[in-house]
Amino acid sequence: MNELDLLNIKDPFQAFIFSHKHNIWFTHINDKNSFVWNNFLDKYYSAFLEYKTKDISLMDYYVLLYYLEIFGLITDKVIIHYCQIALCSLPKIYETDHLYIIQFVDNHSFRSGLTNLLLYRDNEIVNKGKLNCIYSENEHNKISFLHKEPELKNINNKYCSINGIIQEIPKQN
């Protein structure tokens, strides 16, 4: 087993397990901005390196692109951009956050510009740490992370529910 065997594993989670099991680039794969993740990006997603924002780690960008490819969304530059912004808004990124972010961003109300994302972590004991989203039409930032669940009574959306379902189409001028 060598480094090339590791680089031939496209799935980042399987590559991580393989690296730890065979002690190949063990310390480097744990570093989110190491050459290992740069090598993965060069090998599998070199055409998308120009869309990476400076604030996201190489590993998180690779995982994001990996999932976007699985969902058939990898060529959508808008989703790539907003997913990175959402990930960068989080104080800490956990394993399932990439999937949640993709689902939150790939929503008709958000993509059409009707709503903004309010991200927060669940405070229930069972789901502690689970990333959640509320769609709000009246926010200053397109994507925000809140340290606690927002007050739902303060969110008055005209066109969409807080779960992002469009209830009414805005009138065209």
* Per-residue pLDDT tens over the stretch 17-70: 999 899 888 889 999 999 999 999 999 999 999 999 999 999 999 999 999 999
CA distance 36 to 45: 13
φ/ψ of residue 139, rounded to 5: -125, 155
Secondary structure class of 6 (helix, strand, coil): helix
CA distance 105 to 3: 35
Tens digit of each residue's pLDDT (9 = 90 or more) over 76-100: 999 999 999 999 999 999 989 999 9
Whether pTM > 0.85 for this model: the answer is: yes
DSSP annotation of 128? T
**Two tokens, residue 145:** 């992370």
Residue 162 has pLDDT above 70, yes or no: yes
pLDDT in tens, 98-135: 999 999 999 999 999 999 999 999 876 666 689 999 99
115 neighbors 142 (Cβ within 8 angstroms): no
The predicted model gives 156-168 an average pLDDT of: 93
